[in-house]
A and B are shown apart, each in its own frame.
Chain A
Amino acid sequence: MVRNKRFWITLFILPCMALFAFIYAAPIITVIVTSFTKYTAFETPSFIGLSNFKTIFSDNDFLISIKNTVIWVLLQSSFHVGLGLAVALTMRRRPKGWKLLRTAYLIPNIVPTAATGVMFTLLFNPSFGVVSDLYTRLGISSPVPNLFGNSGYAFWIVTATWIFYSAFNTIIFLSEINAIDRQIYEAASIDGATPWQMDLYITLPLLKNVIGTCVVLASVAMVSQFDIIYVTTKGGPGTATLNLPIYLYKTAMLENNYGKANAVGVIQIILGISLVLLIRWLFRTRDKINGDGSGLL
């Protein structure tokens, strides 16, 4: 009977494993292997050891791309997730019009990111965008700032195109909040707890695991963020918005150096896995410290 059950489990897992092997595992193995080779558009791969890694780590642009990626990961996992949580906590109290707010907040997530990028490029166009219009209406005579074109603020403008849209996290938090037993809040209310105290001592501790999940998802998404940066600035001006995926893309498609690009890919994979492990470790450690499972917040 047990052997028969194992057979069926294996059979049902087989398609999933085949999908994983062909779509994920095989390319990842190929990327890792070819990262140690000289491999260009007109050369078959030949082993060169760590040469590609030495090259990228001696390239200042690569180091800048890591720095920008890490800053964006930190912003995404703190401010972006925190904003989603704050909106969810506000909606938990079901203020007037909360359903409309929930729907409206979700709309930007429905728009494809490439379209969002084009939209912001047009909105911030210094000749005919909203900033130009605002300057005209306010009678400001100084030149209209070129928000995506000036490295003085391009990084923060690109960040602004996604950092406020945290509806995905809000939805996850709301569903988790709705699963919390109402009786806990009723008991706290009878004990005289204020809404703020209920959030602090009941809701947030019980959301600990899902916060960890959202932080992992947000961080990993930022390690692979590509489309909106490509559409708005392509990593420029200069290297102001250059991140790892854009650096990888340029190495592969403009330098035609696939071995070096795959070395960047390996670093990106390592960074992604490290972040996942680090975040899981952080949350688990806090668990042990508290002991009683009251959470980190």
Chain B
Amino acid sequence: MNTGLKKLMAAMLAVLLTVSLAGCFGNPDTGGTAGSGDKVVLSVINYHVGTDFGADYYSYLFDSFTQTPAGRNVEFKFEEIPTTDAFNQKIKLLIASGDLPDIVLNGGNNITELAARSGKVADLTPYFDADPEWRGLFDELSLEFNTVDGKIYGVPVSKEISYIYYNKELFNRAGVTAPETAFPTWDALFAACDKFIDAGITPLGMDSADSGWLTNLWFSALIATQSKAGEKWMNTQYPSNYETPEVIAAAGQLQRMLSEYTTPDAVGGRYDPMATHFFNGEVAMFPNGPWMIPDFRSPDKAPADFYDKVGIMLMPHYGMEMVPTPGDMVGATDPAKIDAAVAFLKYSTTVENQIKALEMTGLQPVSSQVTIPNSLRASDPLMAQVLDISAKAQITYGQNQAYWHQNVIDAFSNFLPELAYGYITPEQFCAKLGEAALKN
């Protein structure tokens, strides 16, 4: 090859590389437009995939919507991101960059407020106002939870509740009589814990890593059931003062639970190994929501017949977490896409689909108009028991993951080990949470 030809080829390669680089910064495919053919293409980032508890239900929801009159001309373009944590991080970045998908599923983490204040999601108030029947499905608290500066941005699809699951076999082995609805007081629960310890059984499932989900559920209940002030505090969004008597007292009780009544790996541990402890019959009581019930029958997660060994009770003092879920939002800007996205969100909240969600995932209906079918009592008695016991709750409260700033939840997770090992006092623990809250 002569020198001239070599130079020419090298120059062409250099230009090709430069041009292809420039191509990297061109406009990405935005997922189609309202007018591409007859179809409206809606982009969705879906985290209900893989082993997620809602994967099958959301697959059904998206498929069945395209067979309805409102969804016949809609086509979904999915990006899948497993795990809520990774999904939330991605959505936060997209809020900042302004590249939100057309339908923004809501994974919590204060995303509703972030998205609304950024002005990157559609105000859905006119759609609710134009359809009183649809609006009537929701109670005011659920809509208020999804309202920012007087405008509704999210469509809540369920309510979140949590209580205590217990292992009937372990209760029998330790000689502890399970209460019909709830231990009347925390002292009664701790007395039962002492009996479990005497019998060589770990009483409580707890964790601290990630968000410290299980410990968070205990802590929420402890605060809310301390007093009326505690109940009010636990129903307040984004509290800034954590050094109140009821929060400090709850932190003190939490310290005792972490140091005396849980597994050695709870401190620093994640949710999954703790759930495995419960499935393996190594832990007597485990706080969680109804979405865990399908796991009790899953051969991949729990031993055969485990479902029949599980009982349900409320938190002491007949307390139960009951909080509206942060609703799914619309990130589309094209009017035709917004209409299509709202149509999908309406479809996801029909009475039929709320029942379907309950049956398939354990998600509690957001609407009080939903009548639970009798068939559920036969097919899933534990789920039916959840619905029965919910009506007996005397104290209902929010939950830290829904009501606290994200960095406070992180501080909670980080400083739980310090509290558990006695390196800091309950007062110092609460002060740390307060310091984190003030950074927002």
Which residues in A have some Cβ–Cβ distance to B below 8 Å?
8, 11-12, 14-15, 18-19, 22, 41-42, 125-128, 132, 143-144, 146, 148-152, 233-239, 250, 253-258
- Which residues on B sit within 8 Å (CB–CB) of A236? 268, 413-415, 417
- Which residues on B sit within 8 Å (CB–CB) of A127? 263-265, 273, 277
Interface residues of B in 383-427 (CB under 8 A from A): 406-407, 410, 413-418, 420-421, 423-424
Contact with B92, one of A11, A128, A143, A253 (Cβ below 8 angstroms) = A253
Is there contact, CB below 8 Å, between B415 and A238?
yes
Q: Closest CB-CB distance, A291 to chain B, in whole Å? A: 45
Interface residues of B in 109-166 (CB under 8 A from A): 114, 116-119
Residue B304 is within 8 A (CB to CB) of chain A in the complex = no
Is there contact, CB below 8 Å, between B14 and A42?
no
Is there contact, CB below 8 Å, between B267 and A150?
yes
- Which residues on A sit within 8 Å (CB–CB) of B413? 234, 236
Residue B89 is within 8 A (CB to CB) of chain A in the complex = yes
Is there contact, CB below 8 Å, between B265 and A151?
no
Is there contact, CB below 8 Å, between A255 and B18?
no
Given A150-B417, A254-B410, do A143 and B264 touch, yes or no (CB 8 Å)?
yes
Is there contact, CB below 8 Å, between B114 and A256?
yes
Tell me the complex Cα distance, A11–B407, Å.
49
Nearest 5 interchain pairs by C-beta: A149-B268, A237-B417, A42-B117, A236-B414, A42-B118
- Which residues on A sit within 8 Å (CB–CB) of B199? none
Interface residues of B in 177-231 (CB under 8 A from A): 208-209
Which of B406, B417, B424 has the largest count of A CB atoms less than 10 A from its CB?
A: B417
Q: Closest residue of chain A to B432, judged by CB? A: A238
Q: Closest residue of chain A to B25, judged by CB? A: A22
Apart from A19-B21, A22-B25, what are 18 other A-B pairs with CB-CB below 8 Å?
A: A42-B114, A42-B119, A127-B263, A128-B265, A146-B267, A149-B265, A149-B269, A151-B417, A152-B423, A234-B209, A234-B414, A237-B416, A238-B415, A250-B410, A253-B89, A254-B407, A254-B410, A256-B406
Q: Closest residue of chain B to A254, judged by CB? A: B407
Tell me the complex Cα distance, A126–B263, Å.
9
- Which residues on B sit within 8 Å (CB–CB) of A238? 414-415, 417-418, 423-424
Is there contact, CB below 8 Å, between B7 and A8?
yes
Is there contact, CB below 8 Å, between B268 and A15?
no
- Which residues on A sit within 8 Å (CB–CB) of B96? 41, 258
Given A41-B96, A151-B423, A250-B407, do A15 and B17 touch, yes or no (CB 8 Å)?
yes
Q: Closest CB-CB distance, B333 to chain A, in whole Å? A: 17
Is there contact, CB below 8 Å, between B273 and A41?
no
**What are 20 A-B contacts defined by CB distance under 8 Å?**
A8-B7, A11-B11, A12-B10, A14-B18, A41-B118, A42-B118, A127-B265, A144-B264, A148-B268, A150-B267, A150-B268, A150-B417, A150-B421, A151-B418, A151-B421, A151-B423, A236-B268, A237-B417, A237-B418, A238-B417
Which of B7, B10, B421 has the largest count of A CB atoms less than 10 A from its CB?
A: B421
Is there contact, CB below 8 Å, between B418 and A146?
no
Interface residues of B in 254-284 (CB under 8 A from A): 263-265, 267-269, 273, 277
- Which residues on B sit within 8 Å (CB–CB) of A128? 265
Tell me the complex Cα distance, A42–B114, Å.
6
- Which residues on A sit within 8 Å (CB–CB) of B415? 236-238
Q: Closest CB-CB distance, B313 to chain A, in whole Å? A: 25
Residue B95 is within 8 A (CB to CB) of chain A in the complex = yes
Is there contact, CB below 8 Å, between A239 and B114?
no
Tell me the complex Cα distance, A223–B264, Å.
33
- Which residues on A sit within 8 Å (CB–CB) of B25? 22
Is there contact, CB below 8 Å, between A41 and B418?
no
Q: Closest residue of chain A to B11, judged by CB? A: A11
Given A11-B11, A235-B414, A236-B417, do A146 and B118 touch, yes or no (CB 8 Å)?
no
- Which residues on B sit within 8 Å (CB–CB) of A233? 268
- Which residues on B sit within 8 Å (CB–CB) of A255? 406-407, 439-440
Q: Closest residue of chain A to B277, judged by CB? A: A127
Tell me the complex Cα distance, A232–B206, Å.
18
Q: Closest CB-CB distance, A200 to chain B, in whole Å? A: 45
- Which residues on A sit within 8 Å (CB–CB) of B208? 149
Q: Closest residue of chain B to A147, judged by CB? A: B268
